[in-house]
Every structure is written in structure tokens, then in C-alpha cells.
Amino acid sequence: MRSEIDYKNKVILAPMVRVGTLAFRLLALKYGADIVYSEELIDKKLIQCQRTVNSELGTIDYVCKRENKCIWRTCKDDHPTVIQLGTASDRYAVEAALNMYPDYDAIDVNMGCPERFSLQGGMGAALLKDRERVKLILGGLLRHIDKPVTCKIRLLNKIEDTVDLVKTIEATGAAAIAVHARYVEQRPREPAFPSLVKILSESVHIPLIFNGDIRKFEDINKAKETAGCSSVMIGRGALINCSIFSEQSPRPQKEVCMDYIRNCIQYENGYPLSKYTVLKMFGENKTLTKEPFYKHLHASKSHEQMLYTLEEEVRINGPGHFEWGNFSSAFH
């Protein structure tokens, strides 16, 4: 019997490259996210991984045997969690999904990434115009795993083509579709098109999840209404301040960042990934990048140095405000 996640009326952490590690997923869940997505993980890399119980950290690690590197880490509190799969092959997609089967709640196929690496490999946005491959990949996954299978897409240049795409996806048996409401060529600084997503949501019966330009909690209901979706997915808004998921207790950005760093220390997040994420949290606001604490963060060499920098900043200058930035960074 197929297990289910209810994708209606949910607020979801979007997949973000180099960001969506266990430390950040747990942060989002703490602040109220209903479902969290991993960063995109490539099928062929996941096939090489061996499941390892890490008793010291209390985690399950998927370690690439060839590289002796942990590719994905999870724990008992990391649920509902969705693995976003980078794939161009039904065979490899199924093999990766089966290899990691005990530890995720759903699989999402990335059909929206516009980066050259994905496109050249036939992955990401390359799938938007390859309906037969879409049907093979989603159909293969649905035949072999009894967990929800979803996908994340972008808009095609013609709305009628996008309508045809979502109908094709629905016909495979997919549980939901997340729509990044931009065209493949668009960058995040350009506005999204929620009104076009509303046309899509009226064309299918499965839940559509709107993704785009949600910068603060108040934007969630506005997006639902404009896009005609009961669920939304938040990427950069959550990166800048993950308490965007909390209507009752939004927290100052510096406090949220300290929570993230503590998670990184507890679960041994790779330091380069942690530093990248921390600098992105503050880096969207150009005023903050001129502050001494940001320069100290940039010069930090360890999690402990970053945490000390923020603790001193809050002690001396206070926690600051519920900061929001200009959203110029590129994530998919």
C-alpha cells in the first residue's frame, strides 16, 4: 500500500543547492515548515552510497564509498523529508530511490534546474520538453516504490504547453507538482508569475505547490490566493530568515542564524557548506554586508568562530530585526 503525504495546505522548504542539508532542514522544521526538501542529489552518486548508522551523531548517513564522503544525512526528527532527485534515467532514478528507501518520505524529480550541468546531462529543465522521458522516470519510480513521487517544474514559454505538461505529470500518478513560477531563462531577481500558476492549478486535480517571491510570512496567503494553490514552497525567503515559517514567533535573523550554526555543530555539517549558507543569510542585505560582524563571519575558519562572532554581536548590539533582503541570489 502506498504511503502518503498530504500536500494540501502546506508550507514547504524548497530544495536549495548547498543549503538543504540536515542542519537547515531541522531549522525549518523547528520554525514550522510542514515538509522539507533536500538539495538536489544526483542519482548516480546516490547509487554509490552505502547506508551507515552513525551512533555518535544519532544519524543515518549515506556515504559514497568511492569518495568516502557523506552525501546525505538524516535523523529521526528529519520528517517529513523529501529527497529531490537529479536524474535523466528511469533506471538510475529507481535504483537510487530503492537504495535509500528506508529513510525518506517522498521522492521529487527535479525538472526545473536551468544550470548547464543539469541541462547537458538531460536533467533538470531539460526534462520540461521531453514528455516521454518524464513519463518513464515518474512511471518507473511509481511502480517500484510505495512512497509519494512528485516533481518541481518551471514555466514553459507557452502556457498551453505548461498545461499539457502538468496534465502529463498528473496522468503518471504523481502526488503533487511544485511550480517555480518563472521561465527557464529567468533569474530570481525577476518577478514570478503566480497568475499563470492559477491557470495550471485549475487544469489538474492533484495539488500544485506555488514557489516564487515569498519574502515574509504575510506573503504566504497572498501567494495562495493569486496562484490558486493551497500550498506554497519557500526557498530564499527561508534562507534569509527561516522563522518565516512561524506566524506566532518570528525571530531576529541573527538568532535564527545562531540556531542554524548550533545544528551544524551538532550534526557535523561540512564547514564550507555552513559558511556558504551563513553568508547567504546576511549577504542579500547589502547594508548588513558592510557591518563588522559580517566581515568577521567572512573571515571565520570554523563553526565555533562564526557562533562566537554572532553571540558577541547580539550581546553588544542586540539581536536586530526580522531582516529581509533584496533576493538577488540564484537558487533553483
Radius of gyration of the chain (CA): 19
**150 and 276 co-located in one domain:** no
49 is catalytic: no
**307 and 221 co-located in one domain:** no
Cβ atoms of residues 14 and 39 within 8 Å: no
> End of a domain among 224, 244, 264?
244
Tell me which residue has cell 529507481: 94
**76 and 218 co-located in one domain:** yes
Task: Provide the 3-class DSSP secondary structure of residue 150.
Answer: strand
**Rounded to an integer, what distance in angstroms lies between the CA atom of residue 118 and that of residue 207?**
26
Domain for residue 325, yes or no?
no
Domain for residue 328, yes or no?
no
Domain for residue 46, yes or no?
yes
**Rounded to an integer, what distance in angstroms lies between the CA atom of residue 155 and that of residue 130?**
14
Domain for residue 139, yes or no?
yes
Domain for residue 142, yes or no?
yes
**Residue span of the structural domain in which 203 resides:** 11-244
Largest CA distance in the chain: 59
**260 and 224 co-located in one domain:** no
| Domain containing residue 120: CATH number | 3.20.20.70
The tens place of each residue's pLDDT in the chain, 332 residues long, gives 456 899 999 999 999 999 999 999 999 999 999 999 999 999 999 999 999 999 999 999 999 988 889 999 999 999 999 999 999 999 999 999 999 999 999 999 999 988 888 888 888 999 999 999 999 999 999 999 999 999 999 999 999 999 999 999 999 999 999 999 999 888 877 889 999 999 999 999 999 999 999 988 899 999 999 999 999 999 999 999 999 999 887 899 999 999 999 999 999 999 999 999 999 999 988 888 999 999 999 999 999 999 999 999 999 988 876 555 444 333 33
**53 and 177 co-located in one domain:** yes
> End of a domain among 244, 268, 284?
244
**219 and 312 co-located in one domain:** no
**Rounded to an integer, what distance in angstroms lies between the CA atom of residue 39 and that of residue 21?**
7
Domain for residue 198, yes or no?
yes
Domain for residue 329, yes or no?
no
* Number of domains making up the chain: 2
**262 and 139 co-located in one domain:** no
136 HSE (CA, 13 A, CB side): 12
pTM recorded for the entire structure: 0.94
**225 and 290 co-located in one domain:** no
Among the listed residues 49, 75, 113, 264, the single catalytic one is: 113
**270 and 177 co-located in one domain:** no
